[in-house]
Amino acid sequence: MAATKLNKAENIEDYFDAVSWWDNPVFNFAYADKAGNIAMTVCGRIPIRNGYSGMYPVVALNDSVGMVSNVPYAYLPREVNPSRGHVSSANQRSINPNEYGYPLVGPYVDGYRGRRINELLDADNSITTEDLMRFQADAIEIRARSIVPKVVSAWDNLGDGNESIEMIVGLFNDWDYEMATDLKAPTLWMYLYDAIRSETFEELDVLIPLLEESSMKSNALPSSSYPRAPILEQLILENESAYFDDTRTEGLIETRDHILVRSLHIAINTMHSLYGENTDSWEYGLHHTINVEHIAGLTTIKGGPIRGQHTLFPSHGWEMTTGPVLRHVIDLENPLNSRCVIPGGQSGNPFSVHFDDLFQLWYTFDTEEHHYLYQNFYTYSSSSEFVSVSEENRLIERRITLMPTN
């Protein structure tokens, strides 16, 4: 019902009527129209629970424990025509839980993409299609931008003057926090973050084997024993946490800066061990790559070095295995000026010439325009017109039938 009504909506009133019928898991709906209205609406079933919060699994011993209702549609988070002139969503929390009348629980993302999107939109009120294409390729690491200056300051205050480390710290001094493939600082940041996290929360190391061995790991337990990045970031910025004291050292109380300098040593030692003393082998693109696997594991589209990390262009880990399925920039004033591309092809058939015919557009980064490539939009008034413009009849997908040989 909701989808049908959305397809027929002609104005913002029709939109709100349509999404009120969304009786499914929660989605973020973005709205814009030619009258200049914009909106972001969270729709779906947000349960109201009795006898437990929903943060952890419980045993429902009787009818008093369980989901008793859902948040009424009128009270679901929404935003309409905000004064800042834009709305955005990157799966972060849509509203401050401390300012909302109902409990919001669930595995929300860390919010760094949302923070960067809002930064870019707040900085310019005359966004163009080209700007949005650049935004979708943005690879500024917000975590590093918050934490690395504290590390450099700690080294300046407590460092031992080691010339080799001074040179490596210089990589950070010259870095603009872009996770670019031709730079060494992004690789150093990856190992530094891991070291800071493990050295700060060393008390939690005892949980690692318990988590790995638990039969509940994939169901109810978190994937890591360590707190998530925003918590570590906040502890470092506030610099008031007892977590920075290392419980393994008797008679010594470590400060934040002690832990940051120690983590820097650990990160550099790890990289020397893995990649050697020659820092040329530290370039990010040598280690951060992408290969797109067929959904059924039938084949692989070979990629190579890829930008980004926990950035607006998401490419987590050392090998990018998840990311933007569709890059889409829509020009409502001139729809044919819209752009889109997917990381594969127009066919899911691995034997088709169209299986990977869009990958190079999706993968190729234009260093002059500072964005990835896209395909244009075309419209045809009839199927015969579409066929007539096909070069060598390649725009039409053919059916492939596999026959046994005997």
60 conformational bin, left if phi > 0, alpha if psi -120 to 50, beta if neither? beta
What was the pLDDT predicted at 217?
58
In whole angstroms, what is the distance from residue 94 CA to residue 28 CA? 9
Lowest mean per-residue pLDDT among 97-101, 142-146, 264-268: 97-101
Q: How would you class 12 by CB atoms within 10 Å of its CB: exposed for 0-12, middle for 13-18, buried for 19 or more?
A: middle
pLDDT-derived band at 400 (thresholds 50, 70, 90) equals: very low
What was the pLDDT predicted at 361?
92
Q: Residues 1-18: pLDDT tens digits? A: 888 999 999 999 999 999
- Residue 395 vs residue 66, higher pLDDT: 66
Q: Residues 155-164: pLDDT tens digits? A: 999 988 888 8
The full set of domains in the chain, from first to last, is 2-108 (3.60.20.10), 142-286 (1.10.1400), 298-393 (no CATH)
pLDDT-derived band at 404 (thresholds 50, 70, 90) equals: low
In whole angstroms, what is the distance from residue 249 CA to residue 235 CA? 21
Quick check: 386 and 378 in contact, CB under 8 A? no
What was the pLDDT predicted at 260?
96
In whole angstroms, what is the distance from residue 119 CA to residue 100 CA? 24
Highest-scoring range by mean pLDDT, 23-27, 130-134, 386-390 = 130-134
The pair of structure tokens assigned to 23 is: 């009786």
Taking residues 360-367, report their average pLDDT.
94
Q: Which residues contact 150 (CB under 8 A, 6 or more apart)?
A: 236, 237, 256, 257, 260
User: Which value, to the nearest 10 degrees, does the dihedral of the CA atoms of residues 249, 252, 253, 255 take?
Assistant: -90
In whole angstroms, what is the distance from residue 290 CA to residue 318 CA? 9
In whole angstroms, what is the distance from residue 42 CA to residue 53 CA? 20
In whole angstroms, what is the distance from residue 62 CA to residue 39 CA? 41
Which of 238, 261, 252, 246 minimizes the C-alpha distance to 203?
A: 246
What was the pLDDT predicted at 205?
74
What was the pLDDT predicted at 223?
60
Q: Residues 173-215: pLDDT tens digits? A: 999 999 999 999 999 999 999 999 999 988 777 777 777 776 6
Q: Is 218's pLDDT higher than 70?
A: no
